[in-house]
Amino acid sequence: MTYSNWPWQYSFPPFFTIQPNLETRAKQLEAWRSLVLDYHRALKLAVLDVSEAERSELFNNAKLQRKLPSEGIIQVLESLAKNGNAEPCNKAKTRWYIYWHTLPEW
């Protein structure tokens, strides 16, 4: 299965660089959060492995030759976790559960 519902940010090259401006970064993380959730919901995925994710099309736009570095992926995951949409499944935080709905919502 492939995902086709990419937001405009996905083709915007600087989307793949964590932004230094805090306000801009907040907007960026928000867009990433909704993209990650949408992507996992559409493909019916529930677990995200950070090392695999680095190569998946979600964080790696081959056409643009841009990819979100692993620090960026972790920032996105942590901001998802803050909203109750993700949780690490092991101590090393290399695998994460992605909740399309937060646990109370489920």
Task: Name the residues that contact other proteins, by CB under 8 A.
Answer: 7-9, 11-17, 19-21, 23-24, 27-28, 65-67
The radius of gyration computed from the CA coordinates of the chain, to the nearest angstrom, equals 13
- Shortest gap between Cβ of 8 and other proteins (angstroms)? 4
Query: Nearer Cβ to other proteins, position 33 or 86?
Result: 33
Query: Nearer Cβ to other proteins, position 69 or 84?
Result: 69
Cα–Cα distance, 44 to 8 (Å, whole number): 22
| Of the candidates 1, 88, 99, the residue with the CA atom closest to the CA atom of residue 41 | 99
Query: Nearer Cβ to other proteins, position 21 or 90?
Result: 21
Query: Residue 20: helix, strand or coil by DSSP?
Result: coil
Helix 22-42 and helix 70-82, axial crossing angle in degrees, nearest 10: 80
Q: DSSP character for 75?
A: H
Query: Nearer Cβ to other proteins, position 40 or 67?
Result: 67
- Shortest gap between Cβ of 10 and other proteins (angstroms)? 9
- Shortest gap between Cβ of 78 and other proteins (angstroms)? 21
